[in-house]
Structure 1
Amino acid sequence: MKKQFTMKKYHFLTFALSLLFIVFFACEDEEKVVLPDVATASVEEIYSTSAKVGGKVLYNGGGDISERGIYWSISENSETTGTKIQIGSGLGVFYETLDNLTPGVKYYVKAYAKNTAGIAYGNETFFTTQINYPIIITAEVTDIKVDSAVVGGDVLDNGGTAIVEKGVYWGTTENTINTGAKISMGSGDGPFSDTLSGLSRGVTYYVRAFATNGKGTSYGNELSFITTVELPLVSTIIPRNVETHSAVAGGNISSDGGSAITERGIYWGTSVESENTGTKMALGNGIGSFLDTINNLTPGTIYYVKAFATNSFGTNYGEEISFTTLGEIPSATTVKQSNLEAYSSTLNGLVNAHNLSTTVSFEYGTSTAYGQTANASENPVTGNGDSTVSANISNLLANTLYHFRVVAINELGTNYGDDLSFTTVITGLTGSVVDADANNYQTIGIGYQCWMTQNLKTTKYNDGTNITLVNNDSIWNTLTSGGYCFYDTNATYKNTYGALYNWYAVNTNKLCPTGWHVPTESDYDTLISYLGGATEVGKKLKEAGTTHWKTPNTDATDEFDFTALPGGKRDPDGLFDFMTIEGDWWLSNEYSTKFSNYFYMMYNYNNSFKAYTNKTYGLSVRCIKD
């Protein structure tokens, strides 16, 4: 048992020694990681506000480079005093551009690289940002006068450091920085200017801008200018009293320029640059205002005028001013005719003569070829504004279409108004018509309508069939077909007032003579419109006087010979009323199943009224031609 234990112990020790041997030699084979080797690169592309910096990782120290970059600062030991910029990882070259640097400043930069052993640094190097010469231009010389001018320049770039002085060199010879005088105009960037005074008249001067910073002085380009001579100061007066053929023009001399004015006046013409293209009008000498009238101008024409003045140094001009003489081709507008009758009318228009004497006429005829002419009563038309013109024409044909237009002529040309047309009316034309009972009725034209001048009194329809005469009150009330009666069932009223018909007789469309009909609402409205509205109709259509109408028969004139009479009416119960008080006439339009439309006039109104009433009423009828 003891020997067995010893053998086991021997084998265990042997195993342990072998394991240690393997571990020892394995550790000897694994490479140890050390700090990397990094170099700071030379600074490149150094400008006033930027530079390119970087480095190179030469050796990774046996481990991966996890970070690399640079430190930079305006102090040494930039890794502790400055700003860190990481520029990737791994071996090799790396660069970065530093921006927004200050010109003329010394900067320090140091590369670094990092692995698991730590951070290694390259050598610290330094660089200084550049300072450039300023960039400057010489400004254009302005406000050049006989003894002064404004000169200057513009510092476009200070070169990276402050401008300590800027200004100009100037003189009467070239190369002013060597031959001229220096004027300092402050410091700093941007434009600058000042006035050179005490210059001589008509002399050539040279000027060159300069700017100085910490690096040195730069110059702009050299410019030259010539001081002016003193010409007269002259202005053109706005033309006045401009007419169709003349205008007053001139100028004013406020300064003779130190030398006597030997001549003054105007140039004028129909083209710009009238001093070269127009007519010269000399108007004396000396300073002050001068005016004269230009005659024989053309109406409606644009003219240009420019004043001038001459002294020993030369001639100066005022501004060129244009004006337009009055007058143009007349305007012509044809206006609706008036006073339209069957055989005559008044033609109307508006004409603007535009300040030229204008002859006006009207062309008219039954087609747009016209063929006839009538002179306007207002001839000739003058002035500048719309003038109403008219011409009365006669010997026309009734109920005929006519065309017309206004024509206006002046020395600049002719203008025509638009074509308008009208149809002559039949107002006042008389005639007659016979009904189925052989009753004869006088007729009258009103506008484009032909009306009977008497109330209808037929007892037959136009096909010869009888209309039912109903005198009995109870039967009248129950009628649903055509019926008639005379007022108060008295046939002696027939010839004066005609018969009274219920609406059912109207609705047969056979009540009036053939070619005639009971008026529609539209017929009535047309009549109202032609007569000037409902407030005018009663007085113009009612018989005048009080022979048939009750006093006062307000304003009745029977102007159109319609002779409306107050025939009264019969109500649905058969009762008669309102004779001498009102006249009531059916219209053919049905208002509803129970009512229909009619119109009426009264003794104490000059109106005509439209209303509706029960179809069983008995009312008068006035027929109108189809």
Structure 2
Amino acid sequence: MNKIIGIIIGIVVLVGIGWFVMVRDDSSDTSDVVQDNNSNTGTVQNPTQARAPIVLADQKAIPTDTTAVVTGKVTPNGAITSYWYEYGTTPDMGKMTTRHMLGSGFSAISSPAYITGLTKDTTYYFRLNAENQFGKVSNGKHSFVTSSEFTPIVGKISTAKTLPATSITRTSADLHGEVLPNQADTQYWFEYGPTVNLGNISSFSSAGKGTATLPVAASLSNLSPSTTYYFRINSQNIFGTVNGVVLNFETSGPSNTAVPTASTVSATSVTDSTANLRGIVNAKGANTNYWFEYSTDSGFKASALKTTEKAAVGSGEIDVPVSAMASPLLSKTTYYFRVVAENSLGTTRGDSMNFKSK
């Protein structure tokens, strides 16, 4: 019989009720690890390389007379990972909970499950397992004792719904969802990535423990332009983990941006007081404005400089003809003019040209 090396007596506060939990660590099983093709050291050595999950040895139980909440943590390590618990009245266990999908990030994530149909005043053994395409991992075997001294647990598993993304730009987007806590403290987070395997996670946030469905959101930044991203919401309370459906959005382009180009073309429809100034602007992928400068001074000195109103030319990557009316002008006067284009990366002025008013 395995030697008992530790007894942890803790007070777990759940829904305002004190829970006294005794968990036994049967340490001879802590090295019970099975993997297909990767070693597991318990740390993420290369966050860019997917591998078998990590099951952390911090598993706990919150029993009542006929139920128990079992908890642990799993690091998916870059591949979509499921987790489940084995349990039973002997060290061989023999039963298992429903599998829960945990996602594919590189952070350790809480992995709870709710076991029902237990016999009171009975010792149960349990173990957390996790599996992805790179292998299956089990770590440690623990035990708890059911007792009628414990008050039944309040609440049930949460629900989560993924909603469409909004405010999509070249490098950012807002993700949305809905979460129903169902009377148990619930947290939520979003997974996202450029493939259906996702791979990245937002920060974890609390949805409380109410009985109403809550709108939730997360803002993403540092995305790649012209890229399709897949995402979903996840919610979790002590009863388990729930995954929303996977949706997708595409960031706007182009892939690269630059300072705009600007070419002065001509002045047309010249009268004694007006002229139509023409040019060509290429926004080079960033939102760009243009205007014309004109002056009786060939050096465009500030004291004599006039400008047309700024106008938007968009954020494309093609040459766009632009124009603006210069008014009022002095009659029979030589004017110098040039087109100006500006975006977030810089300002460009076209070559100077001239015309003479009527």
- How does the TM-score come out when normalised to structure 1? 0.23
Q: TM-score, normalised by structure 2?
A: 0.35
Larger radius of gyration: 1
Comparing both chains, which one has the higher relative contact order based on Cα–Cα distances under 8 Å and sequence gaps of 6 or more?
A: 2
Point out the structure with the larger strand share: 2
